Amino acid sequence: MDILSDDGTQLAERISNWEDIFSRPRYQKDVDHDAVQLVRILGHYTMEEVGSCGLSNCHQPHKKGFLVLCKPQNGLANHFETNIGNQCGKNIFGVTFDEQTKNYNIERNTILYRDSLVDAICKVDDFRQRVHVLLKDEGGEAAYARVRNAIKIRGIDRSLVSKLERRAKNGDVEVFLRIAATKRDIDLEESRMGRKLSAEELEDLTQHESLGRISGVRAVTNYEKIKSELKVELPQLLDELDELKPEELLYNDLKSWSKRIGDLDSRFREVEKCIDDCKRFSVASNIEFINANKEWI
Ligand SMILES: [Zn+2]
């Protein structure tokens, strides 16, 4: 886990085991909590093995805890570090410890968010290139236009569009021919049962024969995403990102930006899926299949 610098502005070192803690130059064990003041939390650790709490009245073995910076109550000696188990910090230092934990999380996340933002800003041109590749080289623009034309202008019968939209939402891609039971079959079954068949039982007698599957049906509801994401939303986000000065942003802005850039990859993947659906949907044989079987869609 990362350790904060004393002023909380950098992630200085990493620790991964108890020895890393106990061998730190300023580390002290058997610390009398009444004689010290908590300055700040430097790290929140989770170890594989148990180790002792650094407080003299505790020594509780634990795996999760905090590396903390302390100073003596009398203020005469230098700052030093010790470690405190997850529970005892709160039990002993109470509200102060909750506040310190909150501060630590804010300080640490501020650094992490800012780093990831700086990283993303360095990659703005790569992201822009990715938008361009998806539109042109990967054929996003053309696939969008083909699906739009098929739905809005020609290709797919108007009456089918809402049925296809429903199928897109349900992920229902297989088309079945429905062969209702003959009167003779129904009579036979009713005489066997000795009563009239219910609607459900009648439906069970109906045969369903698969005619085939619709390819890329999700394109019907999603194709506009290609345009909205690649032509509007993502370029706008990248322009904004390009203008940002992460060093001037405060915690809440850093946090919301971190989320926006964290979503970037999944947004690109969504658009990729969408382009793939559009390509598969707009293949001539698929459109022909849909029109040829329109009464069963
Ligand atoms: Zn303890």
Percent of the chain with pLDDT over 70: 100
User: Do 192 and 165 share a domain, yes or no?
Assistant: no
User: Do 157 and 265 share a domain, yes or no?
Assistant: yes
**pLDDT at residue 76 greater than cutoff 80:** no
Q: Calculate how far, in angstroms, residue 64's C-alpha sits from the geometric centre of ligand 1.
A: 11
Do the domain assignments include residue 65?
Answer: yes
Angle between helices 86-93 and 95-122 (to 10 degrees): 130
* pLDDT score at 159: 83
Quick one: which of 62, 112, 110 has its CA closest to 90? 62
- The domain of 199 spans 175-212
User: Do 33 and 139 share a domain, yes or no?
Assistant: no
User: Do 230 and 166 share a domain, yes or no?
Assistant: yes
The Cα angle at residue 188 between residues 185 and 189, in degrees rounded to 5: 85
Do the domain assignments include residue 102?
Answer: yes
User: Do 131 and 265 share a domain, yes or no?
Assistant: yes
User: Do 153 and 258 share a domain, yes or no?
Assistant: yes
User: Do 104 and 220 share a domain, yes or no?
Assistant: no
User: Do 166 and 273 share a domain, yes or no?
Assistant: yes
pLDDT digits 0-9 by tens, 158-171:
789 999 999 999 99
Do the domain assignments include residue 154?
Answer: yes
- Give me the number of domains the chain comprises: 3
Of 187, 212, 237, which closes a domain? 212
Q: Calculate how far, in angstroms, residue 79's C-alpha sits from the geometric centre of ligand 1.
A: 19
* pLDDT score at 80: 95
Q: Calculate how far, in angstroms, residue 74's C-alpha sits from the geometric centre of ligand 1.
A: 22
Contact 211/173 with Cβ under 8 angstroms?
no
Q: Calculate how far, in angstroms, residue 61's C-alpha sits from the geometric centre of ligand 1.
A: 8
Do the domain assignments include residue 16?
Answer: yes
Do the domain assignments include residue 187?
Answer: yes
pLDDT digits 0-9 by tens, 7-34:
999 998 889 999 999 999 999 999 999 9
User: Do 22 and 43 share a domain, yes or no?
Assistant: yes
User: Do 145 and 226 share a domain, yes or no?
Assistant: yes
User: Do 289 and 167 share a domain, yes or no?
Assistant: yes
Q: Calculate how far, in angstroms, residue 209's C-alpha sits from the geometric centre of ligand 1.
A: 70
Q: Calculate how far, in angstroms, residue 155's C-alpha sits from the geometric centre of ligand 1.
A: 73
Q: Calculate how far, in angstroms, residue 181's C-alpha sits from the geometric centre of ligand 1.
A: 76
Q: Calculate how far, in angstroms, residue 202's C-alpha sits from the geometric centre of ligand 1.
A: 71
* pLDDT score at 171: 94
**pLDDT at residue 112 greater than cutoff 80:** yes
User: Do 19 and 156 share a domain, yes or no?
Assistant: no
Across residues 224-248, what is the average pLDDT?
97
Q: Calculate how far, in angstroms, residue 55's C-alpha sits from the geometric centre of ligand 1.
A: 6
Of 108, 136, 162, which closes a domain? 108
Give CA–CA dist 118/166, Å, rounded: 43
* pLDDT score at 157: 81
Do the domain assignments include residue 119?
Answer: no
Please measure the distance between the N-terminal and C-terminal CA atoms of the chain and give it in whole angstroms. Answer: 56
Contact 160/297 with Cβ under 8 angstroms?
yes
Q: Calculate how far, in angstroms, residue 53's C-alpha sits from the geometric centre of ligand 1.
A: 4
Do the domain assignments include residue 114?
Answer: no
Q: Calculate how far, in angstroms, residue 149's C-alpha sits from the geometric centre of ligand 1.
A: 69
Q: Calculate how far, in angstroms, residue 87's C-alpha sits from the geometric centre of ligand 1.
A: 7
Do the domain assignments include residue 117?
Answer: no
Across residues 271-297, what is the average pLDDT?
95
Of 108, 134, 155, which closes a domain? 108
Q: Calculate how far, in angstroms, residue 184's C-alpha sits from the geometric centre of ligand 1.
A: 83
* pLDDT score at 145: 96
**pLDDT at residue 232 greater than cutoff 80:** yes
Q: Calculate how far, in angstroms, residue 54's C-alpha sits from the geometric centre of ligand 1.
A: 7
